Amino acid sequence: MKHCSACGSLVDLEIPPGDNRPRYCCKPCGAIHYQNPKMVLGTIPIWEDRVLLCRRAIEPRYGMWTLPAGFMENGETTEEGAARETAEEAGARIELGALYSVLDIPHVDQVHLFFHARLLDIDFDPGPESLEAKLFSEHEIPWDTLAFRTVEQTLRWFFEDRRVGTYPLRTTAIRYQPKPR
């Protein structure tokens, strides 16, 4: 960040009084610009014994499979955002269930939340961010072409929990691991 979004002046990266970490501060108007993690909201849409996945039509990870999910918008709840993203990416109508997984991804300043969801029908109409939407049973999941580690972890937990018949709230942090050369 170079300029204050309130007055347009140049900002300095410094620790404001009473804080403990550097923030972009504007001396002329006094604004402190906090940068906080972004929320990614999605669902695990279920029809009988199958899960709905979307094949991405955008970067990052063009052509790879994911659960329907995306960034939370201002003015919406986490539940509203998860349902909206499912409608936008898969064109799917759902009944939203309980929060299932919370995954912290500190290296990209994100938190991913996935909710259980029951598909109301199987009439999908993927939006412009998806090439297709398709139902997969556990043995059909394209594990090698899943777009994100958060999606893979959530699906692995889901199928494990489905086998035992209980669905506790799952949480973890996924930390950056450089690819071996």
Q: What is the pLDDT of residue 179?
A: 73
CATH class label, 38-173? alpha beta
The answer to whether residues 2 and 11 touch, using CB atoms and an 8 Å cutoff, is yes
Q: What is the pLDDT of residue 78?
A: 98
Tens of pLDDT, residues 77-100: 999 999 999 999 999 999 999 999
C-alpha–C-alpha distance, residues 110 and 170, integer Å: 16
Taking the domains of the chain in order of start, what are their residue ranges? 1-35, 38-173
C-alpha–C-alpha distance, residues 103 and 112, integer Å: 5
22-52 core/surface letters (b: 16 or more CB in 10 A; e: else): ebbbbeeeebeeeeeeebbbbbbbbeeebbb
Which stretches in the chain have pLDDT values below 70? none
Name the CATH code of domain 1-35 (choices 2.20.70.10, 2.40.50.140, 2.30.140.10, 3.40.50.20).
Answer: 2.20.70.10
The residue behind tokens 């979004």 is 5
